[in-house]
Structure 1
Amino acid sequence: MNSSNNYRMENDPLGNIMIPSSAYYGSQTQRAVENFQISGIRLPRSFIKAQGIIKASAATANMELGTLSPEMGKAIIKASEEVTEGIWDEHFVVDVYQAGAGTSQNMNANEVIANRASEIIGGSQRIHPNDHVNMSQSTNDTFPSALNIAAVETISQRLLPALSQLQQELQKKADQFMPVLKSGRTHLHDAVPIRLGQEFSGFAETIHTVYQQMEAKLDALYEIGLGGNAIGTKVDLQPDYTPKVIQEVCNRTNLPFRQPGNIFAFMQNMSEPIRCMLTLKELAIHLIKITSDLRLLSSGPRTGLAEITLPSVQPGSTIMPGKVNPAILEMTHMVCCQIIGYETAIATAGMASQLEINVMMPVIAHTFLHSIDLLTNAIQTLVTKCISGIQSNDEICKKWMEESLSLVTGLSSKMGYDIASQIGMKADEENKTLKQVLLEKGLLTEEINKAIDPRGMV
């Protein structure tokens, strides 16, 4: 019933409510919009796509089982596929911080698909968001399943390729820089020599290890609880619904989703997002270490270590002309700080599981999926705008290495620790090189000279 050109009135168990006339969503979504004007943040495209996949798969299974007419089923499938493609994203309007468990988000999908399917089918029948689109489903099984589908697709198609690219680029730099000798450093003080390529090989292997951990964690996300219904008891479901709907999801994604080993454990907990987020946190910690090292190694260019040069991507100061900062490394560090905070948010939300369900699923979904996107985008930018363009400053590396007092380590096996220490301390006090002190003491033999040759220490 139209009250104006801009709004239509709908009725639900709570009474009448006005909805924008152009909106495909309905009364429950509108109530959520009015109740939860919190952040303006919506669940991402990947999640909405997964909702469309689930609704199309459920309609297909219900048609095959004879509980949904072919005419209605085909209209729901077409509307759901349009949701999967992103055609109706602007009609998914519920804030992330909404009613617990994601009921509003599920109803947003149900109402958009129902209204669009009714439009497709024409005036012969009205497709109901609960009775038809949500048939054989509950928010409690579809929401965590949509999260897992979205996470699997995003991790496998975006994050893992980005990690692989980063590892390969770091290894390429390791190979390129292997001939470059330099001073190692522990406690930010001089240590025995190392190859610049060896440093970079450590970075590369660290990323490779996280890649393997993320790949292993991915397997558990293939468990989706469709058919669990409200609490896992499969109330009012046809016996063959669960295998049929999951197989249809597999068909539509070309991914090996499967039933959980225990449906009640799946319904009660958000275990896999929690575990995967721990790996993302570890990745963030390693990226902070790597980017911090690169900032130190590139510090200067005149008053720092300056052993490597980063690509210049933008001016670094509003007051100091010509200054260029490690902007990409700083951005990556900021993203990683956010990820570490996000892991805490998911951990505390995970503690909110009570009895048969975790009602914090919307914030877990947003935080987890946003973390994957943030890290993917940051890593891709890090590779293309920083790592691939790093150059070594061979002469500066050589200079610091030759001036390093840690070369005295090579004397320990020849003169003993105490005498070697005295020589090192004298060189430091008098601001001389080890060779100068050894020469003054008449100790610089061919054997001793060879002992403090950096090339013999790497």
Structure 2
Amino acid sequence: MSLSENFRTEKDTLGTIKVPKDAYYGAQTQRAIENFQISNKRFPRSIIRAQGLIKASAAATNMDLEILPPTIGKAIIQAAEEVVNGKWDDQFVLDVYQAGAGTSQNMNVNEVIANRATELMDPRSGVERIHPNDHVNKNQSTNDTFHAAMQIAAIEMINEKLLPILQDLYKELDRKATEFMPIVKSGRTHLHDAVPMRLGQEFSGYAETIHSLIKQLQHSADKLYEVGLGGNAIGTKGNVHPDYHAKIIEEINRRTNLPFRQPKVIFEFMQNTGAPIRVMTTLKEISVHLIKITSDLRLLASGPRTGLAEITLPSVQPGSTIMPGKVNPAILEMTHMVCCQVIGYETAVATAGTASQLEINVMMPLIAYTLLESIDIMYHAVSTLISKCISGIQGNENICKQFMESSLALVTALSPIMGYDRASQIGKEADEKNITIKQTLEQKGLLTPEIEKALEPKGLI
């Protein structure tokens, strides 16, 4: 077959262009392919699925409103549902970095569904071609549908993946908190000795931090349910049936079993990407706290002979190409890297958010990709963190006890008995002689039964 036989010629408002013969996409997608060879990054299937949901819902709504013939509408719905189910994923070929607002991506979806629906049409229908704009995109604009698809994809991923895995992380940390509650250890502030505490109390702080972040994510994600479908280009609902916007949201809700709703003021939805920005801010905060927790665990597990070694992590792989037997905290390091990436992504989304001008934010393709990628990598990182690290952590009670008994912070118990200044002097002398607080008191003849009882670590917890 010659090169020319591998292509077909299609026409759009700019003229003719050659498109691969077997492609379901058409002229506008092909132009975007040729214009934007930037990163080889493609949109995830979550947003393609959401776009298919919107196209199927739009066709069903337009049929219900009697502005789209059932023969055409049913074919569009079938083709769109195939897109939802991933049948044509290989037809979505555009680079993430493309023309603003997602127009190219919207037309990629429109063209694939139009050509597939045409293929599905009964030859006896008398319809020669289903049009990507006139039929598939009826009552729609890129500006409302791509924005809505981004939010539908995000809330589905949050509900189905991220929130459940964060709940699992909370439960596992809470379980470890209970398991480690009998182990008494030295607390640390500024990385220096502090008063005694329980290892379980330390883990309870980690658990409650995640619990609070779950609530915060649920709150910030609620704004994603506001979708301005039917707003069309700028929110004025031009060329849109007056009942369309309410009916399509009902259809989306039926298909997703989620409570999407109309924005109170649709122009706010069209002008801004506030919901994704808010969610990304929460993902950034989750990342900050996960970095704190994983960094703590790396410190607590440091050693095993020259560090703290108060906990032991599961061994998952060799840690050195030169030092035999070395095992590193690989899962914690991976989680830290993912969180750094998400923090960087949040900056990208916030910066893109500043590009909202007048009636639209043209940076929606970048925002959509970055938001969905953040949710995805955080889900996988936390899932791995639980299964390959947190669930297998063990507490080293003897080491915790040794550190706690040698801690200079035990001198805190003496303040109510002999005063702050005198207690400080005892602590300084113990440090200079490299002996314990109790040994210092014994040497000075100050170890009374009252003081000995006060120095019991559990009494300080």
State TM-score, norm by structure 1. Answer: 0.99
Question: Partner residue of 1:247?
Answer: 250
Name the CA distance, whole Å, in 1 between partners of 2:378 and 2:403: 35
Q: How does 1:14-29 map to 2 (within 5 A)?
A: 14-29=14-29
Paired with 1:352 and 1:406, the residues of 2 have a C-alpha distance of: 53
Alignment partner of 1:231 is 2:238: no
Shift of 1:419: 1.2
Secondary structure (helix, strand or coil) at the match of 2:316 reads: coil
Structure 2: gaps of 5 or more residues? none
Separation in 1, partners of 2:239, 2:105? 23
- Equivalent of 1:406 in 392, 404, 409: 409
Matched, 1:453 2:461: no
Alignment of 1:46-445 (within 5 A): 46-123=46-123, 124-125=126-127, 126-445=129-448
Percentage identity across paired residues of the two chains: 69
Q: Report the more deviating stretch, 407-416 or 6-15.
A: 6-15
Q: Aligned pairs, how many? A: 457
Q: Which amino acid is 2:412 matched to?
A: T
What amino acid maps onto 1:138 in structure 2? S
AA matched with 2:226: E
Distance 2:193 2:52 in 1: 58
Amino acid at match of 2:199: L
- Asked if 2 retains the 8 angstrom alpha-carbon contact of 1:152 and 1:221, the reply is yes
Supply the AA of the counterpart residue of 2:330: A
Deviations 1:153-181 (A, max 9, x none): 00011100011000000000000000100
Distance 1:231 1:13 in 2: 22
C-alpha deviation, 1:348, in angstroms: 0.7
Per-residue deviation, residues 179-199 of structure 1 (Å, max 9, x unmatched): 100000000000000100000
After TM superposition, the structure 1 stretch with the greater mean CA deviation from structure 2, 124-133 or 295-304, is: 124-133
| Gap regions ≥5 residues in structure 1 | none
Question: Structure 1, residues 242-276: CA drift from partner, whole Å, max 9, x if none?
Answer: 11111110010011111111100100000011111
Which whole-Å CA distance do the structure 1 matches of 2:425 and 2:234 have between them?
Answer: 74
- Match of 1:18, SS? strand
Alpha carbons 1:3, 1:9 under 8 Å: kept: no
Match of 1:44 in 2: 44
Using structure 2 for the length normalisation, give the TM-score: 0.98
Give the letter for the 2:205 counterpart: G
**2:13 matches 1:13:** yes
The 3-state SS of whatever aligns with 2:5 is coil
What's the secondary structure of 1:127's corresponding residue?
coil
Helix, strand or coil at the partner of 1:8: strand
Q: Distance in 1 between matches of 2:45 and 2:254?
A: 20
Tell which deviates more after alignment, 48-57 or 213-222.
Answer: 213-222
